[in-house]
Amino acid sequence: MSEQTSGDPLFQDQDPVFARKELLHVGHVPDEDRIVGRDDEIQSVANEVGAVVRGDPPNNVMIYGKTGTGKSLISRHVATRAQRAAESNDIDCTVLYIDCSEANTETRATRQLALDLKEKTDYEAEIPLRGVGTMEYYQHIWAVLDAAYDAAIVILDEIDKLDNSNILMQLSRAREARKTNTYIGVIGISNKVQYKESLDERIDSSFGHRELFFHPYDAAQLREIMRNRQDAFQPDVLADGTIELCAALAAKKHGDARKAIEILKEAGELARRNDVTEVTEEHIKQAQEVAEVNRIEELTSGATVHAKLALYALASRIITGERDTYKTREVYQRYVGVCEMAALDPVTENGLYRQLKEQAFLGVIESEKTGGGRSQGSYLLHRLVTDPKHIVKAVRRDASLDELPTYETLVNYGGNQTNDTDLSSFVE
């Protein structure tokens, strides 16, 4: 089976559903003419780095926004265009891109910058891979920049993963400190808005920078993004209304373009697995469910087993009970029963409360303070941000928890006996 279809028509009709599936791959970088719905953001980033085109110093800029809002894509796109425009004005400009989730220390990041620069130029000095500190890498960076470039745009993607922010200071002060004559502009990217506060505390004014916020896509924008890639499918495979439905579902949930494209791809795969050559609204709905479970699993994958049990406890109470919010105490009662089923020792109620708070932080649950009459004291009510079904599925994907009751069993259980708190009378 050809997973990797090519643009060559000779191989296209081997796959009855997809024509150019690569357009839907996660890592795929779309051509310029497939970028839609971000004109204002493109212009804003261009305003910050665009001075390089005239041979002037660019501004530094931090881009914040939730996942899948086009931050990485737009940054690379604008930086590359600025580089091209500069070159046509006889200005030597380069774009350097660092994924700080991989190069997550100052040493790794500077080493990669030095190596990338060496590769782009005819710099001859040897760059050691280990055994040297950041200072040596900086020296190579300044040397190559001076020798080869008037300007450089450095994109530090997922900058919150970097262990310290010294690199920001080094890059922004380099010219002033006479380390290099090259103008350097930094584009920092983060999907953690908390990073903004921590950055403000850690760095001083030498990293003068603007801030841009990318908002989630609305349904109309997601529709355009997907329409622009519908040639990933064979003609007439997408039934009327499928892209619209996919966009509406994705906009309602998160406005994440990456997820919307993934849903479309998954829907195509479902159709193919079912041996049909039409992707229907039903495929989209099923694909959306799979995507949502994946999303929850991603969000909780780093969580401890007790955090997962806490989530499962809340989700299962919602499924078997009649409310959609529960107090910490009520979640705890169910949690203890769930631990018993999983043959694990429960943490204390206070420990569970901390787990729940952590989940609230991840955006999986919302907790709200209620009550608080003088004699009663206040308490927290927890609700799930997503369908409890998805939580149950995602938690059960953990191999050590796959014995817990399935969603379907919980639904039946709820119909038979309400008000039971600990599931203990329940045997699958």
Ligand X SMILES: Nc1ncnc2c1ncn2[C@@H]1O[C@H](COP(=O)(O)OP(=O)(O)OP(=O)(O)O)[C@@H](O)[C@H]1O
Q: Contact residues for ligand X (CB under 6 A)?
A: 28, 30, 34-38, 65, 67-73, 191, 225, 257-258, 261
Q: Can residue 190 be called a binding residue for Mg ion (CB under 5 A)?
A: no
Q: Which option in ligand X, Mg ion, none does residue 325 bind, with CB closer than 5 to 8 A by kind?
A: none
67 or 107: whose CB is closer to ligand X? 67
**23 or 336: CB nearest ligand X:** 23
Bridge partners, residue 184, by sequence: 152
Give me the least distance between CB of 191 and ligand X, in Å please.
4
User: Considering only residues 44, 60, 69, 72, which one is a binding residue for Mg ion as defined by CB under 5 A?
Assistant: 72
Look at residue 257 and give the partner it binds from Mg ion, ligand X, none, a contact being a CB closer than 5 to 8 Å depending on partner kind.
ligand X
Cα separation, 387 vs 375, whole angstroms: 35
Output 72 or 316, the one with its CB closest to Mg ion. 72
Q: Which residues contact residue 103 at a Cβ distance below 8 angstroms, ignoring those fewer than 6 apart?
A: 109, 111, 112
| Residue 70's binding partner out of ligand X, Mg ion, none, with CB under 5 to 8 Å set by partner kind | ligand X
One DSSP character per residue, 309-334 reads HHHHHHHHHHHHSS-S-EEHHHHHHH
Listing DSSP states for 232-257 in one string gives: GBPTT-BPTTHHHHHHHHHHHHT--H
Q: In the complex with Mg ion, which residue's Cβ is closer, 87 or 102?
A: 102
Which of ligand X, Mg ion, none sits in contact with 36, Cβ below 5 to 8 A by type?
ligand X
Partner whose binding site includes residue 313, from ligand X, Mg ion, none (CB under 5 to 8 Å by kind): none
Q: How many residues bind Mg ion (CB under 5 A)?
A: 1
CB 288 within 8 A of CB 263: yes
What is the C-alpha separation between 109 and 115, in angstroms, rounded?
Answer: 10
Q: How far is the CB of 220 from ligand X (least distance, A)?
A: 12
For the CB of residue 76, give the shortest distance to Mg ion in the complex, in Å.
10
Smallest CA-to-CA distance from 391 within 329, 315, 307, 287 is with 315
Q: Which two tokens stand for residue 46?
A: 């261009």
Binding partner selected for residue 67 from ligand X, Mg ion, none, CB under the kind-specific 5 to 8 Å limit: ligand X
| Contact by Cβ (8 Å): 226, 254 | no
Nearer to ligand X, 37 or 414 (CB): 37
CB 127 within 8 A of CB 134: no
Shortest spacing between CB 258 and ligand X, in angstroms: 4
Reduced to 3 states, what is the DSSP secondary structure of residue 303? coil
Stretch touching Mg ion by CB under 5 A, among 72-80, 252-260, 341-349, 396-404: 72-80
Phi-psi sector, 343: left (phi>0), alpha (psi -120 to 50), beta: left
Name the residues that contact Mg ion, by CB under 5 A: 72
